[in-house]
Amino acid sequence: MRTILEILSCGSFVSGEAISRELGISRAAVWKRINSLKEQGWNIESGGKKGYRLSAGDSLEPALWTPMLQTAQLGRGEVHFVEETDSTNTDCKQLALAGAPAGSICLAELQRAGKGRLGRQWISPAGVGLWQSVLLRPRLAPQLAPLITFCAALAMAQAVRETTGMDVRIKWPNDLVCGGKKLCGILLEAAIDPDQIEYVIVGVGLNVYRAAVPPELLERAASIEDFCQPPLRRMILVHYLAALEKLINDLQAQGLAGITEAYHRLSCTLGSRVHVSGAVDLTGTAEEIDEVGALLVRTDDGELHRVLSGDVSVRGVMGYV
Ligand code: BTN
């Protein structure tokens, strides 16, 4: 059964009569429910004959975005939205262990202990980013699990491009960058048996407003607001979930070949001079990703190196990012 918030999530006036018809309740009951929503703090304008209009600001309240979903599965399992948590990845892992269906999602306005790649911390202040994790149970060979990271990066790149027009690119393996700075990070956590993937948690942190980036990171990190007026976070989310679902389906159907063209189009790494640090330290040209997602880098002596993890800097117009 739909709720009044879902009906008003369109953002325009909806008459009391239309709401009462849709919900099968009396006009008096509509009025009572509207009043109780107002008491809970929702900003609902009463426009006489025109009816009611919700000004929801940039809220991530699920009732406001689930009606807009264009997916068959993602965002349609359990949906957990909280003001504050340690990490949405940890919350989503608990859902996975409790048997929640694929497509479940955890979102938070603030993370107290957001997790980044390579054991780093991900700073996630309140209300200024999109901090969320999606539970997947993909039908994929276990060795292909790392490729999901490319689907997530592509999906968020497409979502940001569609909702802002920004020229967002992907730095291997999965950072989203714009203007030479990091805009978004992705952390995959998975439980994989020898013969099947039990679950994958796809955690994505997107800096939306300037306040998402702490002063000490300003040289390397940016937010959407540095480039344009940010769209509503729930719009980015709905675009992201639609794109992610399609890419995961493509990956399940065709393996790497299903996402290669899109990854090449949006990658700022492939074809560029790169410096890799971490387990290996080398400089060369990034030529390709292989069938399990490793980066193939050719050094100037002609040798081809397979990079499985590490920090990659890409040489571009902005120097190295
Ligand atoms: C990186 O280091 O680039 C990855 C950052 C991933 C951050 C996101 S925010 C939502 C989800 N919850 C976490 O604790 N981490 C991921």
pLDDT in tens, 90-99: 999 999 999 9
Give the mean model confidence (pLDDT) for residues 189-211.
96
Residues 6 or more apart in contact with residue 208 via CB below 8 angstroms: 128, 129, 130, 223, 224, 225, 230, 233, 236
For a mutational test of ligand 1's pocket, the pick from 204, 208, 233, 309, i.e. the residue with the most ligand atoms closer than 8 A to its C-beta, is: 204
Buried b (16+ CB within 10 A) or exposed e, 37-65: beeeebebeeeeeebbbbebeebbebbbb
Class of residue 246 by CB neighbours under 10 A (exposed 0-12, middle 13-18, buried 19+): buried
Hey, what amino acid is at 3?
T
Confidence of residue 319 (pLDDT cuts 50, 70, 90): very low
207 CB near ligand 1 (under 6 Å): no
pLDDT of 21 over the 60 cut:
yes
Distances (CA, A) of 168 to 23, 34, 43: 42, 41, 34
Give the mean model confidence (pLDDT) for residues 176-187.
95
Q: Which helix (H) or strand (E) holds 28?
A: helix 27-39
Give the pLDDT confidence score for residue 318 in this predicted structure: 46
Compute the distance between CA of residue 84 and CA of residue 167 in angstroms, rounded to an integer. Answer: 31
Confidence of residue 65 (pLDDT cuts 50, 70, 90): very high
122 CB near ligand 1 (under 6 Å): yes
**How many angstroms separate the most distant Cα atoms in the chain?**
79
Nearest residue by C-alpha to atom 11 in ligand 1: 203
131 CB near ligand 1 (under 6 Å): yes
Compute the distance between CA of residue 222 and CA of residue 180 in angstroms, rounded to an integer. Answer: 9
Compute the distance between CA of residue 84 and CA of residue 90 in angstroms, rounded to an integer. Answer: 13
Length of the chain: 321
Compute the distance between CA of residue 235 and CA of residue 159 in angstroms, rounded to an integer. Answer: 9
**Greater pLDDT, 89 or 67:** 89
The string of pLDDT tens digits covering residues 248-263 is 999 999 999 999 999 9
Give the pLDDT confidence score for residue 211 in this predicted structure: 98
Indicate if the alpha-carbon torsion angle 252, 272, 203, 152 is positive or negative. negative
Nearest residue by C-alpha to atom 15 in ligand 1: 115
Give the pLDDT confidence score for residue 41 in this predicted structure: 86
Give the pLDDT confidence score for residue 6 in this predicted structure: 87
Confidence of residue 174 (pLDDT cuts 50, 70, 90): confident
227 CB near ligand 1 (under 6 Å): no
Distances (CA, A) of 140 to 35, 89, 135, 166, 255: 49, 21, 15, 32, 8
Confidence of residue 9 (pLDDT cuts 50, 70, 90): confident
User: What is the atom index within ligand 1 of the atom nearest the CA of 117?
Assistant: 2
CA of 121 to the centre of ligand 1 (A): 8
173 CB near ligand 1 (under 6 Å): no
106 CB near ligand 1 (under 6 Å): no
89 CB near ligand 1 (under 6 Å): yes
Cβ–Cβ under 8 Å, residues 253 and 246: no
Give the pLDDT confidence score for residue 317 in this predicted structure: 41
223 CB near ligand 1 (under 6 Å): no
User: What is the atom index within ligand 1 of the atom nearest the CA of 88?
Assistant: 12
Confidence of residue 311 (pLDDT cuts 50, 70, 90): confident
Give the pLDDT confidence score for residue 316 in this predicted structure: 64
Give the pLDDT confidence score for residue 237 in this predicted structure: 98
